[in-house]
Structure 1
Amino acid sequence: MKKTKLLKVPSRGLITISMVSLVLGFILAYSYSISSEDNEKNASNLSNFQEQEKYREKLVEQKERNKELTEEITDKQQKIRAFEHSFVESEESVEELVEEAEILRLLIGDIPSQGKGITVSLEDGAYNPSQENPNDYIVHESHVFKVINELKISGAEAISINGQRLHANSYIRCTGPVIVVDGKTFPAPFTIEAVGDPKVLLSSVNLGGGVVDQLTSDNIVVTVGEKDLITMPALREDDYS
């Protein structure tokens, strides 16, 4: 039986192999370490990117919400301004309606009237009954109507004839030398009083070619004056009969 001989490896070879193994192990270990760091870095970068993306999305959402709120605020402000304008206009409308109602109450005689104004007195003209037609010198209802209509047009808020206050349905009728106002008889002279702005009323009746000139040409004696205070009570039910 033959004996196997063991090969002897030179000690230098063992050292070389050991060095190679050591270097290889170090390289593997370093490569693993670098790889781990890269993975961690990549993972960290990915996490940071995702976090930033999340914040970016939230920022975009917040901007959109802010835009919506800004538009809503603008809309609310426009509605408030529109309401304020309508409220002011409504207040003005109510005030105008109240003033108009007050004027209408004065015109129909529902409330007393007091203030400055003017008086217009109409008298029959002088004539000779034996030579002239007396009707050409007598104050007729047409003359009275001319004065009253001019005063109304000029803004008089209340008018009376010989103390009898007129209303919306008043009637005037001439009966010889007297006139009948709402069923009450009054002889000449006829004094017409009007509450209103004296300057406006005087200018109106004294206008060239106006009421006074027309009545004078009809032989009527006209006297116009200003009064600081004219008082007219509210009409009663029997004043309308």
Structure 2
Amino acid sequence: MGNSDRKFILLLAFIILGILVAVQFRSTVFANKKKSSDYHDIQALTESIKKATEIGEELRNEIDDYLSRNENLIRDYIKDQNDNELRREWDGVMLKAGLTDVKGKGVIIQLDDAKYREIEEKSWLLVHDQDVKIILNDLKKAGAQAISINGERITPVSEQVCAGPTILVNQNRYSVPYIINAIGDPDVLYESLINSERVILLKEYGIKVEIKKSDEVVVPKFKGKPENYITGLEVAGNEKK
């Protein structure tokens, strides 16, 4: 091979190498720009979520204030009418609707995931929304007058939806442990739970289920959005065991 051929091959090799380096450089620059763009997009999205959360909290406070003033107006009207029957009916409506704080005798239940161990189906070690729903139904059948989960009042339209390792209650996300407060006859509520098929099953899987009677159970009033209170059942694919 002559010198001219070797020079041509070297020239061709350097040209190809130069092209590869240029392509790699452009790819690296593009990737860095994309990372930078993604980072700024995430920052912007985080800020938007933060602002939306703050606005939502302000609106919720305004709604609570409005509901409180509205309730006071109605109570003043009932007082002016001096109608005890109307007052009892109103108190009953507020209790059933979950729009008033309640304190009395009842039970407190704590649910927590089982300790991890090798098992055929890992989901059996977790507390699911379906478990919570069945326990709530057991409490209602036993005559519970007011119920809350982690401080969220359960109303006629409240829905518990599974969202990964958490559940949504009144559109607020909670993880274990789940604390359920229920007001009613403590003995009746307690008996209904310890004999509940679901509670027995959960205990067999190692799920932590603590049930205690109490003379002073507190169930707070509903503090969600009125539009959700009126219409809003959530729709989602619930996990089932």
Q: How does 1:1-241 map to 2 (within 5 A)?
A: 102-128=91-117, 132-207=120-195, 210-236=197-223, 238=225, 241=228
Offset at 1:133? 3.3
**Could you say which residue in structure 1 is the equivalent of 2:26?**
none
- Decide whether aligned partners of structure 1 residues 165 and 237 sit closer, same or farther in structure 2, where only a CA change above 3 A counts: closer
- Decide whether aligned partners of structure 1 residues 140 and 240 sit closer, same or farther in structure 2, where only a CA change above 3 A counts: farther
Runs of 4+ in structure 1 deviating by more than 3 angstroms, as ranges, are: 94-104
Paired residues of 2:152 and 2:220 also in contact (CA < 8 A): no
- Per-residue CA distance 1:5-49 (angstroms, 9 max, x = gap): xxxxxxxxxxxxxxxxxxxxxxxxxxxxxxxxxxxxxxxxxxxxx
Q: Which amino acid aligns with 1:127?
A: Y
Alpha-carbon separation, structure 2, partners of 1:178 and 1:134: 15
Paired residues of 1:182 and 1:240 also in contact (CA < 8 A): no
Give the RMSD, CA atoms, in angstroms: 2.6
Q: What count of residue pairs does the alignment treat as equivalent?
A: 146
Offset at 1:110? 2.2
Alpha-carbon separation, structure 2, partners of 1:218 and 1:96: 50
Alpha-carbon separation, structure 1, partners of 2:124 and 2:226: 32
Alpha-carbon separation, structure 2, partners of 1:188 and 1:239: 27
Offset at 1:235? 2.2
Alpha-carbon separation, structure 1, partners of 2:140 and 2:149: 14
- Decide whether aligned partners of structure 1 residues 239 and 147 sit closer, same or farther in structure 2, where only a CA change above 3 A counts: farther
Alpha-carbon separation, structure 2, partners of 1:124 and 1:169: 26
Alpha-carbon separation, structure 1, partners of 2:106 and 2:187: 9
Q: Which has the larger radius of gyration?
A: 1
Gaps of 5+ in 1: 1-93
Alpha-carbon separation, structure 1, partners of 2:123 and 2:96: 32
What is the TM-score normalised by the length of structure 1?
A: 0.53
Aligned-pair identity in percent equals 33
Gaps of 5+ in 2: 1-82, 229-241
- Decide whether aligned partners of structure 1 residues 182 and 228 sit closer, same or farther in structure 2, where only a CA change above 3 A counts: same
Offset at 1:104? 4.4
Alpha-carbon separation, structure 1, partners of 2:192 and 2:93: 22
Alpha-carbon separation, structure 2, partners of 1:189 and 1:103: 31
- Decide whether aligned partners of structure 1 residues 233 and 239 sit closer, same or farther in structure 2, where only a CA change above 3 A counts: farther
What is the TM-score normalised by the length of structure 2?
A: 0.53
Paired residues of 2:148 and 2:154 also in contact (CA < 8 A): yes
Q: Which amino acid aligns with 1:155?
A: G
- Decide whether aligned partners of structure 1 residues 205 and 230 sit closer, same or farther in structure 2, where only a CA change above 3 A counts: same
